[in-house]
């Protein structure tokens, strides 16, 4: 089941409110949140002292999230969010397919987008960047691929999220391979969803 609730209509505990709407509770519930002020590091570079994060995040990180399977840590400013919440970056990274060649995954939101860049060596970049137009999306894609030294002729870009179809059409002339998530790979669609732009929910489909 996929749905959307405007942020203005959510109460103080949106997870509790959402779960209460289910007539039968799911067997497994993963609670994840996007914390915009975050920085990711390989586990080998992690430190107990978090004072250095103040320079990057504006304030010292109040929590460190860890993925055992990826061996990476995310230092985040969560403003003392519930301890049971996981970081959306790690949840998505654990579910994205392994990269056999350079790949860029992008999830478009209203004014930002989350970028995941990976190759055969693992994740090279994960970040949430201001992205309120197709021009900004193209700029970030070009900048990331240039910084990583990736050839646009061999780079695979996957775009999902809000208005992803128009975004794909806009950036396609600048990259050889640009596509969206394949919904049928993850879910069996009900006929009731015929009019829903299902690929807009890429991260939710992977979950």
What pLDDT shows up at residue 191?
74
Of the candidates 57, 87, 117, which is a domain's last residue? 87
Same domain, 105 and 177: yes
Same domain, 132 and 206: yes
CATH code at position 170: 3.30.420.260
Burial 137-167 (b: 16+ CB within 10 A, else e): bbebbeebbeeeebeeeebbbbbbbeebeeb
Of the candidates 22, 56, 87, which is a domain's last residue? 87
Same domain, 81 and 122: no
Q: Give tens-digit pLDDT for 149-163.
A: 999 988 999 999 989
10 within domain boundaries: no
As a whole number of angstroms, the distance between CA 106 and CA 126 comes to 10
| In the chain, % of residues over pLDDT 90 | 54
- Please state the pTM of the whole predicted model: 0.82
Q: 50, 101, 104, 99: which is closest to 74 by C-alpha?
A: 50
Same domain, 72 and 172: no
Domain total of the chain: 2
Residue 2: pLDDT above 60? no
Same domain, 118 and 191: yes
What pLDDT shows up at residue 189?
73
Q: Give tens-digit pLDDT for 38-94.
A: 999 988 888 889 999 999 899 999 999 999 999 999 999 998 888 888 999 999 999
Tell me what the pLDDT averaged over the chain comes to.
Answer: 87
Same domain, 79 and 122: no
Domain boundaries, position 51: 31-87
Same domain, 118 and 77: no
Same domain, 150 and 53: no
User: Is the model more confident about 159 or about 21?
Assistant: 159
Same domain, 106 and 198: yes
Same domain, 143 and 122: yes
Mean pLDDT of 115-135: 93
């Amino acid at each position: 089941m996929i749905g959307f609730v405007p942020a203005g209509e959510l109460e103080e505990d949106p997870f509790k409110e959402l779960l209460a709407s289910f007539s039968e509770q799911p067997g497994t519930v993963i609670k994840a949140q996007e914390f915009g002020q975050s920085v990711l590091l390989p586990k080998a570079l992690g430190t107990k002292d978090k004072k250095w994060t103040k320079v990057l995040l504006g304030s010292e990180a109040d929590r460190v999230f860890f993925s055992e399977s990826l061996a990476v840590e995310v230092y985040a400013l969560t403003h003392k969010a519930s301890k049971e919440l996981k970081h959306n970056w790690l949840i998505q990274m654990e579910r994205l397919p392994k990269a056999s060649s350079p790949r860029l995954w992008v999830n478009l939101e209203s004014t930002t987008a989350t970028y995941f860049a990976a190759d055969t060596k693992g994740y090279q970049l994960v970040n949430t960047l201001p992205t309120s137009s197709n021009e900004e999306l193209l700029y970030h894609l070009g900048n990331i691929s240039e910084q990583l030294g990736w050839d646009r002729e061999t780079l695979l870009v996957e775009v999902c999220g809000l208005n992803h179809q128009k975004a794909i059409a806009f950036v396609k002339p600048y990259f050889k391979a640009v596509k969206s998530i394949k919904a049928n790979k993850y879910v069996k669609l009900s006929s009731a969803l015929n009019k829903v732009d299902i690929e807009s929910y890429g991260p939710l489909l992977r979950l």
